[in-house]
A and B are shown apart, each in its own frame.
Chain A
Amino acid sequence: MEVRLALALCVVLCGTLCGRSLSEGTRRRAAALRGIIEAVRRLRVRMTGMFEPVQGALQRADCPLFAAVAEAMSGGRSAGEAWDGIRAKAGRRGGPAEFLLEADRETLTQLFDGLGQSGREEQDLLLGSALESLEALHAAARAKAGEADRLYVPLGLLIGLMLALIVI
C-alpha cells in the first residue's frame, strides 16, 4: 500500500512538473525580452550619450544576442546585415534568440536595420521607439506566461491526480 501511495505521489508530481514545463517557454520568452530591453537601454546611453560606435556599444551592452550581432559585424557589415546573417541560427535551440517569436525578431530587425545609419537625434528616436515596441511585447509575453502558468500547472496536477487514482 505504501508503495502505491509513493507511486501515486510521484505521478502527481510528474504531472505538475509537465504542466510547468509547458509554460516554461512563455516564461523564458518574457525573461529574454526583459534582458533585451535592459540591453537596449544600455545601448542608448552608450550610443547617444557617449557616442560609442555601434559595434563596441553592442559588445558592451551585456546581452548575448547583441554580442553575437557585434561579432557578426566584424566582417565589415552593418548591424542590419549582421543580424540578417545570424537571425536564423540565433533562433535555433541553444541560440540567443531561441525563445523569441517572429514578432519579437521583426522588432529587432527594424532596430538593427536603422542602427548607426543616422544622426544622434534620429538614433535616440529609433532606440526609444524600439524600447516602446519591446515593452509592449514584454507585457504581452508576461500576461501569456501568467495565463500559461494558470492553465498548464493545474492541468498537469489534475491529470496527475487522475492517474494517481488509477494507480491507487
Chain B
Amino acid sequence: MGILDRLAALMPGDVAKEMRARWGELAEVRLRAGRPAQLLWTGGEALCGGAVDAERLRRIAAAMMDYSLYARESELNQGYFTMDDGSRVGVCGRFARDKEGWRLTEIGSVCVRVARPVSGCADAVMEAVDGKGGLKSTLILSRPGMGKTTLLRDIARQLSGAGRRVGLVDERHEMAACMRGVPTLDVGPRTDVMDGCPKPLAIATMIRAMAPEVIVADEIGGEGDARALADAARCGVAVVASAHAGDIGQAMARPMLRAALLEGAFQTAVLLGSRPGSIREICPMGGGGAAWKYA
C-alpha cells in the first residue's frame, strides 16, 4: 500500500478525498484535536472536513506508528516519529517528567511531512560538491521545510552513482527510510546507511569500518557533531551535511555549528531559498573561489 493510500485510509472521508485530489503537490497534512484538518502544498493551504476528535487523532497516530508506540518511544519523546516511507511526523501534546526524563503522554496534534524524493534536484550543486577540484565538504543551510533532506538524498544518490563510496548517517530515518536496515528510497548503489544511530557514533564507526569517501548527514548541530565532523575531515573523508540556519551568520550564532565552521570542516556552503527546493547561493568557505548565486 503506497503512502497516499495508507494516509488516506486513516483520515476522515472528506480529508482523504481532498488529499487524493492534491496528492501531486501535497507537502503536509496537519491534524489537531478538536479542529479541522489542514492540508498544505506549495503556494497554498486549506482547512477541510469537520473537527477531528482527540480519540480519532490518537488512533490515527497509533496507526501511523504501526501500533508499535514502544518502538518509537525515544523519537516520540523528542517530538516526532518517522513513518516507514521516510515521512516525518511531528507530534505536539502533553509532556510529563519521569525518572528517565521528559515523556510525551498525550498527543494533541500531528504534522505529517510527506517524503517525496526528487531525482535531479541536486544537479545544480554537484559541480560544487564533487567537481574538478574533487570532493568538497559542503554545508547546506536553510530554515525548516525548504528541502534540505530531499537535496541531501539526491546528492548521496548522485555521488554514489558517479562511483563514490558514500556513508549515509540517517539518524532520523528520513533520508533512506530503511526497513530493517535496508533503504527503501534510492540513495545510490554504493551507499552504506547507518539508520537511527546518533551522528557522532555513526560517523566514527563508518570511518573505521566502511572506508567511505564521503559522509552525508542531516541536521547537524547537536553535541558531539562538530567533533565528529572535524575528525572525519582529519581522516580525509569529505562531509556533506545540512543544518537549520538562514545564512552563514545565523549558523555561526549556533555554538555547535560555529565550532565546526571555525575548525574548517566545510569548504562550500549551499544556501537554500525561500521556496522549497530553490537554491539561493553556493559559496566557498575559508576564502577563494567564485560564488554562484541563484534567484
Contact = CB atoms under 8 A, between A and B. Distances in A.
Interface of A: 47-48, 51-55, 73, 76, 78-79, 115-120, 122-123
B66 interface: yes
A78 B62 contact: yes
A53 B6 CA distance: 17
Given A76-B6, A76-B9, A53 B66 contact: yes
Nearest to A55: B66
A73 B70 contact: no
A52 B71 contact: yes
A55 B6 CA distance: 16
Contacts of A115: 67
B68 to A, nearest CB: 4
A48 B70 contact: yes
B71 A51 contact: yes
Contacts of A73: 67
Contacts of B70: 47-48, 51, 116, 118-120, 122-123
Nearest to B196: A51
15 contacts: A53-B67, A53-B68, A53-B71, A54-B67, A54-B68, A55-B68, A76-B9, A76-B10, A115-B67, A116-B66, A117-B62, A117-B67, A118-B70, A122-B70, A123-B70
B232 to A, nearest CB: 28
Given A76-B9, A76-B63, A78-B62, A118 B69 contact: yes
Contacts of B66: 53-55, 116
B190 interface: no
A64 B101 CA distance: 39
Given A115-B67, A117-B67, 6 more contacts: A47-B71, A48-B70, A52-B68, A53-B66, A53-B68, A54-B67
Contacts of B63: 76, 78
A117 B67 CA distance: 6
Contacts of B10: 76
B41 to A, nearest CB: 25
Contacts, number: 47
Given A76-B63, A78-B62, A116 B69 contact: yes
B73 interface: yes
B103 interface: yes
Contacts of A123: 70
Contacts of B9: 76
B73 A120 contact: yes
Contacts of A119: 69-70, 73, 103
Contacts of B67: 53-55, 73, 78-79, 115-117
A48 B62 CA distance: 17
Interface centre among B10, B67, B69, B70 (most CB of A within 10 A): B70
Interface in B39-80: 62-63, 66-71, 73
A73 B103 CA distance: 28
Contacts of A55: 66-68
Interface centre among B6, B67, B103 (most CB of A within 10 A): B67
Interface centre among A73, A78, A119 (most CB of B within 10 A): A119
B68 A116 contact: yes
Nearest to B104: A119
Interface centre among B10, B66, B71, B73 (most CB of A within 10 A): B71
A148 to B, nearest CB: 39
Contacts of B73: 119-120
Nearest to A56: B180
A123 to B, nearest CB: 5
B137 to A, nearest CB: 33
A116 B71 CA distance: 8
Nearest to A126: B70
Interface string B72-103: 01000000000000000000000000000001
Contacts of B71: 47, 51-53
Nearest to A119: B73
Nearest to B6: A76
Interface centre among B63, B69, B103 (most CB of A within 10 A): B69
Contacts of A118: 69-70
A73 B73 CA distance: 21
A53 to B, nearest CB: 4
A35 B251 CA distance: 58
